[in-house]
Amino acid sequence: MKPGRLVTAVAAALLLTTTACGSGFDDKAGTAQQSAGPADLKILIASSGPAEAKAVTDAAAKWASASGNKATVTPAQDIAQQLGQAFAGSTPPDVFYIDAARFADYASVGALEPYADKVTNLDDFYPNLRQTFTYDGKVYCVPKDFSTLALEINTDLWQKAGLTDADIPTNWDQLTAAAQKIKAKGIVPLAMGDTRDRVGAFLVQNGGWWTSADGKQATADTPQNEAALTYVQGLLKDGLVKFPKQLDAGWAGEAFGKGKAAMAIEGNWVKGAMKADFPGIKYTVHELPAGPTGTKGTLSFTQCWGIAAKSKFKDQAIKFVDAMTAADQQMEFATAFGVMPSRQSAQAPYTAKFPEDAPFIAGAAYGHGPVNAPKMDTVLADLDTGLQSLATSTPKAVLQRFDKNAKTALGG
Amino acid sequence: MADSKRTSTRSNERLAGWLFIAPVVAVLGLFLVVPILMALWVSFTDWNGQGSPFQSGVPFAGLDNYTGLFAHDGLVRQNFMTSIRNNAYYVIVVVPLQTVLALGLALVVNNRMLKGKGFFRTAFYFPSVTSSVAISVVFLFMFANTGAINEILGFFGVSGPQWFADPRGVLHLALDAVGIVDVNAPPAALSGHGLLGLSWWDWTSGPSVAMCAIIALVVWTTSGTFMLMFLAALQNIPTQLDEAGLIDGATRWQRLRFVTLPQLRPTMFLVLTLGLIGTWQVFDQIYVMSKGNPAKTTLTPAYLSYSTAFRDFDYGSGAAISFVLFLIIVSLTLLQRRALRERP
C-alpha cells in the first residue's frame, strides 16, 4: 500500500463520517410547538444541597399530578457546563436555574424565552431583582428566591473584646473602631471573601458600582469607587480584615464558625451552615455598615427560573414556573432550605416566621445585583484577581484595569 | 502467469489487511479524528454554543480567534500569555526534576545489594496508580496554612508561606532575598516594558509559591511511572558491560556516566517526551486544587481552554487555545528529538 493511497482512503472515510455527523447535528427547522396535551418537562436545578433537591422534586411532583403533566427534576453537578453542552446539542432542559451573574450570557445568545410578562403579577417581585433579569429592556425570567449580605457577629468574641451592643457598627468609622478594639485583644476582627461578591458591597455603600445601571458601560474608575477600595485596602493593611484563605477556611462562614474571626460578611446561607456545622457558636446578624454619606448598601444574589427558547412545552413550563413562584410555595421553599422569597407579598409571612432574618430582608430594598452584561465572566474573574492582591496594589490601577477590559468585552 | 498470480495474492492480502484494521480505523476516526477536525472548524468560528456549529448561521471568524491570542492587546491575550508563562516555568522545573528523581529511584531499586526490592518498587510506584484527584485533595491538606508542611517548616524555625494564597513568583522572591529587587516595587525598566501583553517583570516571575506546591505533587506522582521505565531499561543492560568497566578501572561515577547512561538514551528520550507532553497538558491538578488562582499564577493553557469554552461560551477561542497548545507540544517534541539524536 502506497502512503498516498492510504491517505486518500482515510480522507474518504473521514469525509463520509463527517457528512453523516453533520446531518445528525442539524437542527430540525421549526420544532413543533406542542402546547396542548400532557407535557414532559425536564427541569435542571443547581441544588444547594439534598434539602433543596427534595423540596423542588416534591413540589414538581405535586404540580405534575395536579396538572396532569410529567415533570422530572435533575440536580446538576455543574450547571453551567451541563447547560452549555445541552444548548450545543439542541436538547436543553425545558426549565432550569440561571444564576444572575450568568443570565446575560444566556439571554444575549437567544437561549432564553422571555416569558416574564406571562407570569401572575410580575410587579410583585422585588424591583431590583426584576432589574437583574432584564436584558435589552425586557424582563426575561422571574427570580426563584434571593439572598443578601449582612454582618454576622460572634457574641462570645465580641464580649471578650469588651464590646457591647452599642458598639455594633452602623457606618465605616464605627466598623474600623470596633475592629481595632477586637484586634487589640489578639482576635481577627473580620473575615470576608476576597471577590467582587463581597468587596462590591463597599462600592454600593459609597454610591458607586462597576458598571452603569443598564450594564452597557464600565464605570469603575470614579472617585467614589476609589475611596471605597482605599477603605477596604486600609482594613486589609491593618489586619482588620482577613481573607478566608489566610484563615485556612474555604469561605468566610467557615472561618467565622470555627471562631477564627469575630465578624464575617456573608449571606443568609450562613444560617444553614452554622446550624449544620457549628451549632455551638452564638452569633447575631446585622445590616452592613453604611458608607460615609449614610448610604446603605449590600449585594443581592439570585437565580431565576429560565425557560429554554427551544423548549417544546413553553406554555406548561410557564405554568410550572408560576406555580413554583407562588407566594405560599416560596414560603415552603424558605422553610425547607432557608432561602428568602422573591415576592414582596411573601415578605410579611416570612419576617413573621423568621424574625432573626430581618437584616437580610432589609437588604432587599437596597441590595445591588451582580454585573449583568454578557461576556463579562473573564473580565470579572480578572477583577477578582486584582481584588485578591488589593493589600499591595493601587486601587485606582485595579479600577482602571477593569474599565479597560470591560470596555473591550462590552464592545465600546 | 506467476507474476499475475502473485499480484492477486497481494491484492487479496491488502484487502484482508484493510478488513482487519477497519474496526480500529472506524473507531479512531469517529472518536478521535472527526472530533479533532470538528474542533478545528469551531476554532475558526464565533460559535456561541447554541445548536450545531455546522449550521449556516454560525459566524465565520477566520483567524480572529488565533490573532486574538497573539496580536490584539486585551484580556484574552494577557490570560493566554500568563498561562503560557506559568506552564513554561512548570515544565522547566517538573521535567528535569521528575526525570532525575525517576532515574535515581530506578538506580536504587536496581541495586543488586538492595534487600526488599519488591517493597520499594511498589512503594515508589504507588503514587502513580492512585487517583490524581484523591492525591490532590490530600496535598491540599498538607499544604494548608497550618498543614503538615508548614508544621515541619515551623519545627525548623521557618515560617511557611500561605501556599495556595501566595501569588508571588519564586524568582522574584529569590531576587528580593539577595536584595537585587523589591517585590513590592518592581524596577520600572522591567515593569514598564513588556512583550505580548505581559511586562518583563511578569515574564520573569518564575513559578508562584502556589505553583510550587502543585509542582511538588506532580513530581512525586509521576516519577514512579518513569522509574518503572528506567528500571526496565536498566535490567536490559548486560552486567558484563559494567564488569568490563570495572576491570578497566572505571570509578562508580564513570561507569554510570559512560556505560549506563548511553545505554539508556532511548528510554531517556521516551521519558522526556512523555514528561514534556504530560506537563504541557496539566489540567486535573489545576482543576481540583486551584482553578488558576491565586492571581492567575496557576492558570495553564489546558485549563484556560476549558474555562474559555465552557464558562464564557467562547468556544472558538477555547478551541484555538487548544490547537496552539497542540502546536507547542509538537514543535517542542521535534526540537527535543533533534537534540537527543544519536550523533554518528
Confidence of residue B52 (pLDDT cuts 50, 70, 90): confident
**Are both A277 and A319 inside the same structural domain?**
no
**Are both A347 and A265 inside the same structural domain?**
no
Across A20-29, A225-234, A243-252, B282-291, least confident range: A20-29
- Give the closest of B17, B294, B313 to A109, CB-based: B313
Residue A25 maps to a domain: no
**Are both A102 and A241 inside the same structural domain?**
no
**Are both A47 and A118 inside the same structural domain?**
yes
Q: How far is A24 from chain B (nearest CA, A)?
A: 9
Rounded to 5 degrees, φ, ψ at B341 are: -60, 140
CATH topology of domain B67-169+206-339: MetI-like fold (1.10.3720)
In sequence order, the 6+-apart residues with CB closer than 8 A to the CB of B147 are B141
Contact B52 A80 (CB under 8 A): no
Residue A35 maps to a domain: no
Q: Is A13 within 8 Å of chain B by CB?
A: yes
Q: What is the pLDDT of residue A23?
A: 41
**Are both A119 and A49 inside the same structural domain?**
yes
Segment A140-153 shows an average pLDDT of 92
Check whether B259 has a pLDDT greater than 80: yes
Nearest CA in chain A to B52: A25
Helix pair angle (B209-236, B117-129), 10° resolution: 130
**pTM of the shown model:** 0.79
Q: Which residue has the higher pLDDT, A141 or B158?
A: A141
Selection from A235, A208, A204, A232 nearest residue A220 by Cα? A208
In sequence order, the 6+-apart residues with CB closer than 8 A to the CB of B109 are B117, B120, B121, B124, B227, B231
CATH number at residue A264: 3.40.190.10
Q: What is the pLDDT of residue A17?
A: 44
What domain range is A259 assigned to? 148-299+372-410
In sequence order, the 6+-apart residues with CB closer than 8 A to the CB of B172 are B181, B183, B186, B201, B204, B205, B206
Segment B199-225 shows an average pLDDT of 88
Confidence of residue A35 (pLDDT cuts 50, 70, 90): low
Rg (chain A; Cα; Å): 24
Confidence of residue A202 (pLDDT cuts 50, 70, 90): very high
Segment A297-306 shows an average pLDDT of 91
Three-class SS state of B271:
helix
Check whether A10 has a pLDDT greater than 80: no
CA B49, CA B294: separation in Å to the nearest integer? 29
Total domain count, chain A: 2
- Give the closest of B29, B52, B310 to A14, CB-based: B29
CA B318, CA B89: separation in Å to the nearest integer? 22
Residue A92 maps to a domain: yes
Percent of chain B with pLDDT over 70: 97
Portion 45-74 of B in contact with A at CB < 8 A: 48-55, 74
In sequence order, the 6+-apart residues with CB closer than 8 A to the CB of B119 are none
Across A154-163, A325-334, B44-53, B103-112, least confident range: B44-53
Contacts of A245 in chain B (CB under 8 A): 145, 162, 164-165, 294
Q: How confident is the model over A66-120, as pLDDT tens digits? A: 888 888 999 988 888 888 888 877 788 999 999 888 888 888 888 889 998 888 8
Nearest CA in chain B to A90: B51
Check whether A31 has a pLDDT greater than 70: no
Check whether A28 has a pLDDT greater than 90: no
Count of helices and strands (H, E) across chain B:
18, 2
Residue A319 maps to a domain: yes
Average pLDDT along chain A: 85
Q: What is the pLDDT of residue A13?
A: 47
Contacts of A243 in chain B (CB under 8 A): 165
Segment A316-337 shows an average pLDDT of 90
Residue A23 maps to a domain: no
Please give the DSSP secondary-structure letter assigned to residue A190: E
Check whether A20 has a pLDDT greater than 60: no
Q: Which residue has the higher pLDDT, B50 or B217?
A: B217
Contact B165 A88 (CB under 8 A): no
Q: What is the pLDDT of residue B6?
A: 63
Q: What is the ipTM of this complex?
A: 0.71
Segment A236-256 shows an average pLDDT of 88
First to last CA, chain A: 58
Average pLDDT along chain B: 86
Q: Is A26 within 8 Å of chain B by CB?
A: yes
Residue A6 maps to a domain: no
Place of cell 478551541: B319
Contacts of B144 in chain A (CB under 8 A): 248
Q: Name the grid cell of A375.
A: 461576556
Please give the DSSP secondary-structure letter assigned to residue B281: T
Nearest CA in chain B to A247: B145
**Are both A117 and A158 inside the same structural domain?**
no
Q: What is the pLDDT of residue A58?
A: 92
Contact A21 B145 (CB under 8 A): no
Please give the DSSP secondary-structure letter assigned to residue A290: B
Portion 285-324 of B in contact with A at CB < 8 A: 293-296, 308, 310-315
Q: Name the grid cell of A282.
A: 452564638
**Are both A231 and A308 inside the same structural domain?**
no
Rounded to 5 degrees, φ, ψ at A258 are: -80, 0
Three-class SS state of A371:
coil
Contact B313 A84 (CB under 8 A): yes
Segment B188-214 shows an average pLDDT of 83
**Are both A115 and A257 inside the same structural domain?**
no
Q: What is the pLDDT of residue A275?
A: 85
**Are both A52 and A100 inside the same structural domain?**
yes
CA A402, CA A137: separation in Å to the nearest integer? 25
Q: Name the grid cell of A66.
A: 395536579
Check whether A56 has a pLDDT greater than 80: yes
Check whether A291 has a pLDDT greater than 70: yes
Check whether B116 has a pLDDT greater than 90: no
Check whether A19 has a pLDDT greater than 50: no
Query: Under a CB-based contact definition with an 8 Å cutoff, are residues A329 and A323 in contact?
Result: yes
Q: What per-residue string of b and e applies to A399-410 under the rule 16 or more CB within 10 Å gives b?
A: bebbbbbbebbb
Segment A328-342 shows an average pLDDT of 88
Distances (CA, A) of B113 to A245, B117, B257: 48, 9, 20
Domain locations along chain B: 1-42, 67-169+206-339
Contact B34 A14 (CB under 8 A): yes
Segment A189-216 shows an average pLDDT of 89
**Are both A161 and A220 inside the same structural domain?**
yes
Q: How confident is the model over B229-251, as pLDDT tens digits? A: 999 999 888 888 888 888 888 88
Residue A33 maps to a domain: no
**Are both A87 and A220 inside the same structural domain?**
no
Q: Name the grid cell of A280.
A: 455551638
Place of cell 435542571: A44
Q: How far is B18 from chain A (nearest CA, A)?
A: 10
| Residue A6: exposure state from Cβ atoms within 10 A (0-12, 13-18, ≥19) | exposed
Q: Which residue has the higher pLDDT, B187 or A16?
A: B187
**Are both A118 and A176 inside the same structural domain?**
no
Q: Is A378 within 8 Å of chain B by CB?
A: yes
Confidence of residue A283 (pLDDT cuts 50, 70, 90): very high
Q: Name the grid cell of A46.
A: 443547581
Check whether B260 has a pLDDT greater than 60: yes
